[in-house]
C-alpha cells in the first residue's frame, strides 16, 4: 500500500475558500468526463481516506474512488446525463466502479444464493445446530431407534438430550457413546415435554431446539427441512406433517388449533424464542396449553412444513394416541440470572435539550444494570452549557463534543473506542427507554450467546397519535386513541430493516468485527439509513440475532425527528440515496464472501469527536 499526503496527490486541487473542508478531485473529473465540479468535489475526509489506501488511476480504482465514482454515476443516471457525461457513459462508470469494489474488497462465494448444489458440493451447505430432547415412555428397542433417527439427521449438528425416567439401561448404554453429543438427564417421573424443556434450558447451546418422541422416528431430513423454512421465512416455530402406523398423514396446522398429542412431536423452534418466552414472569411454561396460549398471544410467526418429517408407531386417528404421563407434575425451573450487568449507552444529540433530559432520565434509572452513558453533543447551535454541567457531575456519564454536525451513526462509530463494557445500547435523544429494557436485552444476549438484540417499540408524539371511533356496542361513537407499535423481526435474505435501531443492544466485540456503521464516502451521506445496512451486513456476516415481541422503548415522533425532517426524512434525497446503496450492497453480500470491516467506518472520522474532561463542564 502506497500512502501520499493530500497536498502531494497529483489530482488534488483546492476547492475555492473551503480549503479545509472540500477539494476538487481531478481523477473523478477524468473518470466521469465532465467539467461540472459538482461531481468532482469531495470532502477533505474522503480525500484523506483515498490517500491512505492504494494510489488510484483512471484504470485502477481503490475502494474510496470506486465508491465515489459509483455514487456520482448514479446521480448522473438519475438526471438522464449531464454535460460531457451521458447516461451510457455513467452506466459504464457505475458498472466498472462496482467491479472495482468487488476486486479490492471481496472474494467470490463458493456458490450464489439459490444455486443448485451437486452431490460433491453438499458438504459446503450451511450447517445448523440443534438440541433435540428425547422424551416419552417406551421400551429399550424403541428408544434406540428414536435416538438413532436423531443422530442420523443430515446437515445438522445435533446434541441429543435423553430424558431418563428409568428406561435407560445398560443395554442402551452399550449401544451409544454418552459424550457431549448425547447427554442423559435422569428424572423421577415423566412430565409434560414443555416442562422438561424448561428444566433443560441452561444446558441447551444450539441455535434451534426440537422434540423427539421415543415412540417416533424422525426422517433424515426432518431438522434440515424445517430449519431451512424457519430461516427462509424468518419465523420462530416450525411444525411438520406426520404419518401414523396406518399410513395416514396428518398435515401441520396453526399452533392455536393444534392437537397437543401430536403437535410437540414435530416441533422445532429457535432457542432464542424459548428463552424469550421463559423470561416472561421468570417462570416455566406450564405445559403445552400454556405454550400455545403464549405463542398465539405474542403473534409468533409459525412455519408449516408440508412434507412428512416424522413417522409415529401408532394410528393417528386412534383414541389411544399416547400422551406423556404426569402432565400436571410441577418441576423446579432454574431462574434466569438476575445479577447486575454493565452496559455502555450511546446518546448523541443536536439541540433537542428538553427531549435529552427525558431520554437521559430513562437510561440512568434502568433496573438491574450499571450504565456508562456516552453523551455526545453533535455540534448543537443552542446553549447547552447547563445540560453538560448537570450531567458532568454524574460519574456514570462521559461527555463528548463533535467539531461539526455528523449525525448519530458517525457519532456512534467515533466513541466506540471508549466503550468500557461487554455490551452497548443505542439510545436516540428523543426516545424513552422502558425501565427493564437494558437488563432484558443483556440477559437475553448472555443466555442465548447471540450478538444483536432487537425489541418492539411503541410510537408516541403529538403529530403521531391516531384515533378510532367505535361503530357498535355500548361504546358506539366514542373516540379513543390507538396505540401503534413497530416490531423487530428475525432476518432473512429477502428482508430489509428487521431490527428497530432505537431499541438495539449489541455485543461490543460484534460492533468491532463488523467495522461499525457504514461510510458512504462523506459524512453528509452518512446521516440516515445506515442502521438498515449495518444489520443486513451483520446477518450476511453470520451474526446471531435475539428478537423479542416485548416493547422496550417509547419512540417519539415529531417534526424534527430523523424520519420526519426535511433533510433525512422519508422521501428525501439523502434517504433515497441511502436505500439505493443498501440495495446495491445486499447484492454484493449475497454473491461474495466479504470482510464486513471493509464496509464499516469505525475509524474514518474519529478526529471529529473528542472527549470533554469533567473539569471543562463544571
What are the tens digits of pLDDT across the range 46-96?
Answer: 777 777 776 677 667 777 888 888 888 888 888 888 888 888 888 888 888
Alpha-carbon distance 195 to 512, whole Å? 39
Q: Are 247 and 317 in contact (CB under 8 A)?
A: no
pLDDT tens readout for residues 96-145:
887 777 666 665 554 443 344 343 333 334 678 999 998 866 677 888 88
For each of the domains in the chain, give its residue range(s) and CATH number, in order of start. 6-108 (no CATH), 125-312 (3.90.550.10), 341-616 (3.90.550.10)
Position 347 confidence tier, pLDDT thresholds 50, 70, 90: very high
- With 0-12 CB in 10 A as exposed, 13-18 as middle and 19+ as buried, what is 588? middle
Q: Are 69 and 32 in contact (CB under 8 A)?
A: yes
Which three three-digit cell numbers place residue 287?
A: 405445559
Q: What is the pLDDT of residue 392?
A: 92
Length of the chain: 618
Higher pLDDT, 341 or 461: 341
Nearest to 256 by CA among 269, 271, 237, 230: 237
Q: What is the mean pLDDT of the chain?
A: 81
Average pLDDT, integer, range 184-203? 74
The yes-or-no verdict on residue 4 having pLDDT over 60 is no
Average pLDDT, integer, range 196-217? 86
Alpha-carbon distance 176 to 140, whole Å? 12
Which one-letter DSSP state was computed for residue 607? Answer: G
Give the lowest-confidence range in 36-50, 154-168, 475-489, 532-546: 475-489
Position 39 confidence tier, pLDDT thresholds 50, 70, 90: confident
Nearest to 582 by CA among 476, 496, 459: 496
How would you classify the pairing of strands 237-243 and 249-250? antiparallel
Average pLDDT, integer, range 227-237? 93
Dihedral sign from CA coordinates of 180, 181, 187, 192:
positive
User: Which residues lie below 8 Å from residue 182, measured CB to CB, with a gap of 6+?
Assistant: 147, 151, 159, 160, 162, 176
CA 187 to mean position of chain CA atoms: 37
Q: What is the pLDDT of residue 167?
A: 65
- With 0-12 CB in 10 A as exposed, 13-18 as middle and 19+ as buried, what is 291? buried
Q: Which residue has the cell 402406523?
A: 245
Average pLDDT, integer, range 362-383? 96
pTM above 0.85, yes or no: no
Compute how many other C-beta atoms are within 10 angstroms of the C-beta atom of residue 225.
21
Q: What is the pLDDT of residue 118?
A: 40
Position 469 confidence tier, pLDDT thresholds 50, 70, 90: low
Q: What is the pLDDT of residue 443?
A: 94
Alpha-carbon distance 346 to 398, whole Å? 10
Give the lowest-confidence range in 99-113, 143-157, 205-219: 99-113
Q: Are 488 and 549 in contact (CB under 8 A)?
A: no
Position 372 confidence tier, pLDDT thresholds 50, 70, 90: very high
Which three three-digit cell numbers place residue 65?
A: 474512488
The yes-or-no verdict on residue 354 having pLDDT over 90 is no
**Highest mean pLDDT range out of 25-29, 43-47, 177-181, 400-404?**
400-404
Three-state DSSP class for 308? strand
Q: Which residue has the cell 435416538?
A: 147
Average pLDDT, integer, range 521-534? 89
Q: What is the pLDDT of residue 386?
A: 92
pLDDT tens readout for residues 245-265:
888 888 877 666 555 555 678
The full DSSP string for 195-227 is: HHHHHHGGG--SSEEEEEETTEEE-TTHHHHHH
The yes-or-no verdict on residue 326 having pLDDT over 80 is no
pLDDT tens readout for residues 429-439:
999 999 999 99
Q: How far is CA 100 from CA 148, 494, 500, in A?
A: 51, 25, 33
Angle between helices 63-78 and 44-51 (to 10 degrees): 140
pLDDT tens readout for residues 261-305:
556 788 899 999 988 987 654 444 456 667 777 787 788 888 888
Alpha-carbon distance 375 to 366, whole Å? 16
Amino acid at each position: 500500500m502506497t500512502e501520499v499526503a493530500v497536498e502531494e496527490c497529483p489530482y488534488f486541487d483546492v476547492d475555492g475558500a473551503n480549503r479545509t473542508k472540500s477539494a476538487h478531485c481531478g481523477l473523478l473529473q477524468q473518470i466521469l468526463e465532465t467539467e461540472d465540479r459538482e461531481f468532482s468535489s469531495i470532502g477533505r475526509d474522503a480525500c484523506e481516506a483515498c490517500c491512505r489506501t492504494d494510489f488510484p488511476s483512471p484504470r485502477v480504482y481503490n475502494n474510496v474512488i470506486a465508491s465515489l465514482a459509483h455514487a456520482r454515476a448514479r446521480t448522473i443516471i438519475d438526471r438522464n446525463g449531464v454535460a460531457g457525461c451521458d447516461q451510457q457513459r455513467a452506466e459504464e462508470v457505475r458498472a466498472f466502479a462496482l467491479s472495482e469494489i468487488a476486486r479490492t474488497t471481496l472474494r467470490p462465494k463458493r456458490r450464489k444464493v439459490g444455486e443448485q448444489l451437486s452431490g460433491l458440493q453438499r458438504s459446503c451447505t450451511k450447517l445448523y445446530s440443534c438440541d433435540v430432547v428425547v422424551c416419552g415412555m417406551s421400551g429399550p428397542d424403541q428408544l434406540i431407534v428414536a435416538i438413532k433417527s436423531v443422530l442420523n439427521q443430515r446437515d445438522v449438528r445435533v446434541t441429543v438430550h435423553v430424558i431418563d425416567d428409568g428406561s435407560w439401561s445398560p443395554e442402551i448404554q452399550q449401544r451409544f457413546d454418552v459424550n457431549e453429543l448425547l447427554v442423559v438427564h435422569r428424572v423421577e417421573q415423566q412430565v409434560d415435554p414443555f416442562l422438561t424443556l424448561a428444566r433443560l434450558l441452561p444446558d441447551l447451546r444450539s441455535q434451534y431446539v426440537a422434540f423427539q418422541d421415543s415412540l417416533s422416528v424422525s426422517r433424515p431430513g426432518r431438522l434440515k427441512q424445517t430449519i431451512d423454512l424457519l430461516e427462509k421465512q424468518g419465523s420462530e416455530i416450525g411444525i411438520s406433517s406426520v404419518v401414523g402406523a396406518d399410513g395416514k398423514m396428518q398435515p401441520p396446522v396453526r399452533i392455536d388449533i393444534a392437537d397437543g398429542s401430536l403437535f410437540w412431536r414435530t416441533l422445532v423452534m429457535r432457542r432464542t424464542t424459548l428463552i424469550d418466552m421463559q423470561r416472561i414472569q421468570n417462570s416455566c411454561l406450564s405445559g403445552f396449553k400454556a405454550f400455545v396460549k403464549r405463542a398465539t398471544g405474542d403473534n409468533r410467526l409459525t412455519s408449516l412444513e408440508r412434507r412428512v418429517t416424522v413417522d409415529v408407531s401408532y394410528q393417528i386417528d386412534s383414541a389411544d394416541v399416547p400422551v406423556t404421563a404426569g402432565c400436571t407434575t410441577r418441576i423446579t425451573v432454574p431462574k434466569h440470572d438476575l445479577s447486575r450487568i454493565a452496559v455502555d449507552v450511546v446518546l448523541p444529540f443536536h439541540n433537542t435539550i428538553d427531549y435529552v433530559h427525558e431520554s437521559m432520565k430513562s437510561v440512568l434509572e434502568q433496573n438491574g444494570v450499571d450504565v456508562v452513558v456516552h453523551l455526545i453533543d453533535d455540534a448543537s447551535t443552542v446553549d447547552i452549557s447547563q445540560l453538560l454541567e448537570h450531567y458532568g457531575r454524574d460519574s456514570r456519564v462521559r461527555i463528548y463534543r463533535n467539531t461539526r454536525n455528523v449525525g448519530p451513526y458517525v457519532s456512534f462509530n467515533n466513541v466506540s473506542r471508549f466503550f468500557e463494557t461487554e455490551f452497548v445500547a443505542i439510545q436516540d435523544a428523543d426516545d424513552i427507554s422502558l425501565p427493564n429494557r437494558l437488563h432484558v436485552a443483556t440477559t437475553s444476549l448472555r443466555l442465548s450467546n447471540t450478538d444483536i438484540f432487537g425489541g418492539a417499540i411503541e410510537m408516541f408524539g403529538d403529530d403521531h397519535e391516531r384515533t378510532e371511533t367505535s361503530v357498535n356496542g355500548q361504546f358506539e361513537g366514542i373516540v379513543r386513541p390507538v396505540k401503534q407499535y413497530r416490531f423487530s423481526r428475525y432476518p432473512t435474505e429477502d428482508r430489509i430493516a428487521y431490527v428497530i435501531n432505537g431499541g438495539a443492544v449489541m455485543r461490543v466485540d460484534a460492533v468491532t468485527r463488523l467495522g461499525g456503521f457504514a461510510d458512504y464516502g462523506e459524512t453528509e451521506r452518512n446521516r440516515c439509513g445506515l442502521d438498515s445496512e449495518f444489520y443486513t451486513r451483520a446477518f450476511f456476516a453470520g451474526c446471531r440475532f435475539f428478537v423479542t415481541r416485548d416493547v422496550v422503548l417509547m419512540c417519539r415522533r415529531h417534526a424534527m425527528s430523523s424520519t420526519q425532517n426535511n433533510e433525512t426524512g422519508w422521501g428525501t434525497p439523502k434517504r433515497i440515496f441511502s436505500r439505493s446503496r443498501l440495495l446495491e450492497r445486499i447484492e454484493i453480500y449475497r454473491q461474495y464472501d466479504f470482510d464486513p470491516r471493509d464496509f464499516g467506518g469505525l475509524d474514518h472520522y474519529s478526529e471529529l469527536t473528542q472527549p470533554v474532561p469533567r473539569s471543562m463542564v463544571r
